[in-house]
Structure 1
Amino acid sequence: MDRSMQIKAMASDTRLEVLRLLSDPGRHFGHQWSADPVEFGVCMTMIAEALSISQPTVSRHLDILRQAGFITVRKHLKWSYCKRDDAAIRGYLDWMAKDLSLR
C-alpha cells in the first residue's frame, strides 16, 4: 500500500468530509434514485452537490481517495458511484497508531 498517498488523502478537509458522508450513505444520500447508495454506492454528482463544489473538483478529490484505497469507484451507464472501504481506512489507522507507537 502506498502510505504516502494515504497520508495525502487524509490531509484534506474536503476528502475527510467525503469519507464522513460515505460512512452513512443511507442517511446522507437516501434521496439518490439511480441506485441504492448503501448497496451500490453514491453518485459522484451527488457528492459534489453535498459539498457544494464543482464536478471536476470532486473528481480530483475522489481520485486521490481511490488511489489511497479508501474508496472504490464503479461505473454504471454514464455515472460513477463511490463506496467507502472501511477495512482500508481501519488498516491505515492501525498502521498510523503502530508507526507512531500509540498502542
Structure 2
Amino acid sequence: MSTLPALKALSNEKRLQIMRWIAAPVDHFPAQTDGDLVEDGVCVQSITEKIGLTQPTVTSHMRVLEKAGLVTSRQIKNWVFYKPNRTAIAAALDDLSMTLLR
C-alpha cells in the first residue's frame, strides 16, 4: 500500500477525527440497532450525527478514506457501516517508517 493516499486522506481534520472515533467505536458511539460496532463498523448516520455535518458530506469523507484503503464498508439494510482497515493502516505506518527512518 502506498502511504501517500493515506496521508492525503488523513490531512483533513474531519476525516482524521472520524478515524479516531471509529478506531475505538465502543468508546465513541452508542450501541446500534443493526450491526455490531466492532464487527460491522459504525453506521454512517451515527458518524453524521456525531460530527455535525450533512450525510452527503460525511459520505464523501468516507469515500476518500475508503479509496485510500483506511476503512472498509459494509451495507446492512439501508445503511452503510464503516470500520478501520487495521491491516492497511499498519502497512501504511510501516511504509512511512521505512521511508523516513532509513
- The normalised TM-score by structure 1 is 0.89
Distance 2:8 2:18 in 1: 14
1:7: Cα distance to partner?
2.2
Higher relative contact order, chain-length normalized (CA < 8 Å, sep 6+): 2
1:82 aligned partner: 82
1:40 aligned partner: 40
Distance 2:96 2:2 in 1: 13
Alignment of 1:14-29 (within 5 A): 14-29=14-29
Question: Which ranges in structure 2 are unaligned for 5 or more consecutive residues?
Answer: none
Aligned residues: 102
Alignment of 1:56-95 (within 5 A): 56-95=56-95
Distance 2:73 2:16 in 1: 17
Question: Which ranges in structure 1 are unaligned for 5 or more consecutive residues?
Answer: none
- The normalised TM-score by structure 2 is 0.90
Residues 2 and 95, structure 2, Cα contact 8 Å, conserved in 1? no
1:12 aligned partner: 12
Distance 2:21 2:71 in 1: 12
Distance 2:97 2:84 in 1: 21
RMSD value over aligned CA atoms? Answer: 1.4
Distance 1:56 1:2 in 2: 27
SS at match of 2:53: coil
